[in-house]
Amino acid sequence: MKRHHVIATLARAFYNASDELIAERHRVSPAKAADFCRIGQSQLRHPSRARLLNDVLDDSGEGALVIDKGLRDLIRS
């Protein structure tokens, strides 16, 4: 996956970032930012990527998703 697709998708999923905010951060139009999110979500649905994502994400047992500092920094960059 391309980095901008990952960042846009995670920013939307975890922080409910708007297309305008994502567009501003990537210096593209809001329509292009929406495309980044759409493409990222589509790619994450692919079974091979879903397996990789399951391996990376850790469930703490309490139903809460644990996000490490590296992932948080990637989303915010």
Q: Is 57 a residue whose pLDDT tops 60?
A: no
DSSP 27: T
Domain that holds residue 13: 3-76
- The confidence score (pLDDT) of residue 60 equals 46
How many distinct structural domains can be found in the chain? 1
Q: What's the mean pLDDT in 18-47?
A: 90
Start-end of H helices in 16-57: 19-26, 30-44, 47-56
Q: Give percent above pLDDT 70 in the chain.
A: 64
Percent of the chain as helix, strand, coil, to the nearest 5: 70, 5, 25
Average pLDDT over residues 37-54: 78
